[in-house]
Structure 1
Amino acid sequence: MWDLPTRLFHWALVASVVALVVSGQIGGNAIDWHAKLGVAVAALLLFRLVWGLVGGRWSRFTSFIYSPLTTLRYLRGQSTPHAEVGHNPLGALSVFALLAVLLVQVGSGLIIDDEIAFVGPLNAWAPAEWVSWASNWHRESGKLLLIGLVVLHVAAIAFHAHVKRHNLVKPMFTGDKALPVGTPASRDDIVTRGLALLLLAACAVAGVWLWQLGYANAM
C-alpha cells in the first residue's frame, strides 16, 4: 500500500522532529544541531510535497483529499472502503495539519534571530517585523502547536489500535495492508524508487545550499 519512499520519509521525519524538539529544549551547543536538523526537515518536506504529486497512488495528496460531506459521513460511521485504504478523512486532516505547521515552523526558523547564538539563513532578506514574529512563533506558539498535533496523532493511532483494532503502524513499516479485493496498488518498483532517490538528492542539495547561505551570512 505505502511505497518505500513514503515509508522512509515518514520515519525520517519522525526521528528528525523528535530530535528537533529535544535539541530545542536543551539549547546551548545543541542549537547548532537543531539548526542542521531544521534544514534536513525542510528538505524532507520539500520532497514530500513533490512526492505527493508524483508518488505512489496512495501517497498522492489526491488520494486523501476528502470533501466536508465525506468527512461528516465518516464521523457518523458511514465510511466507504476507499476511506480505509490510506488515510481516512480524520487522518488526512491530521497529515495536512502537521505538514502545514511544520512548513510554518521551518519557514520561521529560516529567518529567526534568537539574539544569542543563531540567525536563520534567510534572515538578511526578511523585514524586521517578520523576523520578530517568526522568532516568537518558532520558540513559543509554533512549538506548542506542533507538539500538540504530534500528541493527537499518536493518540489517534493508539485509539485505532486498541479500540477499532486497526494497526496503522505496521503498514508504515512493511507497506502491506489487508485491503478489499480490487483495490489498486501503489506503484513501487525500481523506476519509482530511482525517481524518489533523485528527487531526495535534489532536495538535499537545496538544503545544503540553505545551510551554506546561512554560514556565508554569518561571516
Structure 2
Amino acid sequence: MHTQKVWDIPVRVCHWGFVLIIIFQYLSGEILDDNILPNTMQWHFYAGYTCIALVIFRLCWGIFGTYYSQFSQFVTSPITTFQYLRNKRSFSQFLGHNPAGAYSIIVLLTLILTQALSGLFISDEVFSDGLYYGVLGNRAQDIANFLHHNVFTLLLGFIALHILAISYHKIVLKEGLTKAMITGKKKVSRTDVAVSPYSSAIFPWAGLLISLLITAIAMYLILEVLPPPPSDDFFMY
C-alpha cells in the first residue's frame, strides 16, 4: 500500500463548499427566521449565488483542472458503468472517480444548479424576490416555483444515496473516501490502480486562472448585467 495524491484543493473546496451551502440553505429556508438570523432570506439568496458560482467553477475545472478532476478522465459510457457495477472486483481499480461515481456527480451538479437557478425566478410572496422574478410568463413562473420547491427533495435523496455509497466503500471495501476528500490523498495498492497517477508537482495554474475568470464573468453577468431593473412598488393615495 502507498499514499497517492488524488484530489486537488479546488476539488475539495468545491465539494465541502456544496456540503456547507446545502446545509445552510435547508436551515435558512425551513428553520431559521429573522429572529435567529437577521435578513435570513437575503443570506439564503447570497448562498444561492455562491452555489451557482461553485457549479460554474467546477464545470470549468472539469475541463482545465488537474488529471483526476477532469470529466474526460472519469465520465464513461453507460455500458462501461453497467459493467463496472456488475464486477465487484473493479471497485478498487479507480484511483479517481469510478464510473458510477461520475454519473452521481453529474446528477448532483445538475440538481444543485437547477435548484439554485430556479430560485432566481421566484418570490417568497412577502418580502423577498429573486433577481429575475417577474421575467417569466405565468406558466414558466409556475415551473420555476415547482422546481425550487421540489428539486431539493430529490437532491436530498441523491445525497442520501451518495452517503450510502461512501459508507459501502468504507465498511465493505475499506476505502476511506471522506478522509481522502479532506486530505486529498488515498491509500492504494499499486496493483489496484488502473490509471496513470496524478503528479502533484504539475498544477495547471493557467487552468485555475481561466476557471476563476470565467466564473467571475458569468457571475457578473448573472448578478449585475442581465437582471431587469427592480420594480417600484408603492401605493398611490
- Is 1:207 the counterpart of 2:209 in the alignment? no
Rounded Cα–Cα distance in structure 1 between residues aligned with 2:221 and 2:32: 24
Root mean square deviation, CA, Å:
2.6
- Is 1:217 the counterpart of 2:230 in the alignment? yes
Q: 1:196 to 1:8 in 2, by over 3 A?
A: same
Match of 1:38 in 2: 48
Which has the higher Rg, Structure 1 or Structure 2?
2
**6, 15, 24: which one pairs with 2:11?**
6
Unaligned runs of 5+ in 2: 1-5, 35-39, 233-237
Relative to the length of structure 1, the TM-score reads 0.86
Relative to the length of structure 2, the TM-score reads 0.80
Identity %: 33
Greater shift, 42-51 or 84-93, is seen at 84-93
Greater shift, 39-48 or 17-26, is seen at 17-26
State the aligned residue count. Answer: 218
Residue 184 of structure 1: CA displacement? 2.5
SS at match of 2:187: coil
Greater shift, 202-211 or 8-17, is seen at 202-211
- Is 1:151 the counterpart of 2:160 in the alignment? yes
Residue 128 of structure 1: CA displacement? 2.4
Rounded Cα–Cα distance in structure 2 between residues aligned with 1:26 and 1:50: 34
Q: 1:10 to 1:97 in 2, by over 3 A?
A: same
Unaligned runs of 5+ in 1: none
The 5 Å alignment of 1:51-130 reads 51-77=61-87, 79-80=89-90, 83-130=93-140
| Structure 1 counterpart of 2:219, one-letter code | G
Select the structure that is richer in helix: 1
Q: 1:66 to 1:194 in 2, by over 3 A?
A: closer
Q: Give CA-to-partner distance per residue, 1:51-105, whole Å, 9 cap, x none.
A: 1111111111111112222222222225548852111122112111101111111
